[in-house]
Amino acid sequence: MLVERIRVLVFSLALVLGGCGWDGGPLIEGDIGTVVDDTAELSVKVKKALRNSPETATSQIKVTTVSSDSVKLSGFVSNSAIMNEAERVASQVSGVRFVVNSLIVR
């Protein structure tokens, strides 16, 4: 029984540690900076678009890049029309395919 438990533990550990490896190809100098720059650029473009929209310009909306083509909107807005407009504006920014709308109306 103890041997079987150890065998299961070793097998599980091998699976977990095997999943921790990098399989995205060789990491080339500049890859990390490029990813950070691209995601930061997407957030900046969405923030700029929100500031340029009369409906969302004065709202305190936080924009976070979730992935290379997804952003998350969070914070508080005064009504659902502003919440919907913020999502619409963000979704029309070049490079944005998905918008996670976590805005709260209060």
CATH number at residue 65: 3.30.1340
Binned at pLDDT 50, 70 and 90, residue 7 comes out as low
Establish if 24 belongs to a structural domain: no
Establish if 16 belongs to a structural domain: no
pLDDT in tens, 48-79: 999 999 999 999 999 999 999 999 999 999 99
* Residues in CB range of 91: below 8 A, 6 or more apart: 99
pTM of the model: 0.65
Establish if 27 belongs to a structural domain: no
- Domain count within the chain: 1
Establish if 41 belongs to a structural domain: yes
Establish if 49 belongs to a structural domain: yes
pLDDT in tens, 24-52: 444 444 444 544 556 789 999 999 999 99
Domain that holds residue 49: 36-106
Establish if 8 belongs to a structural domain: no
- Separation CA 22–CA 98 (nearest Å): 26
Chain position carrying tokens 């990491």: 27
Angle, helices 80-91/31-52, rounded to nearest 10 degrees = 130
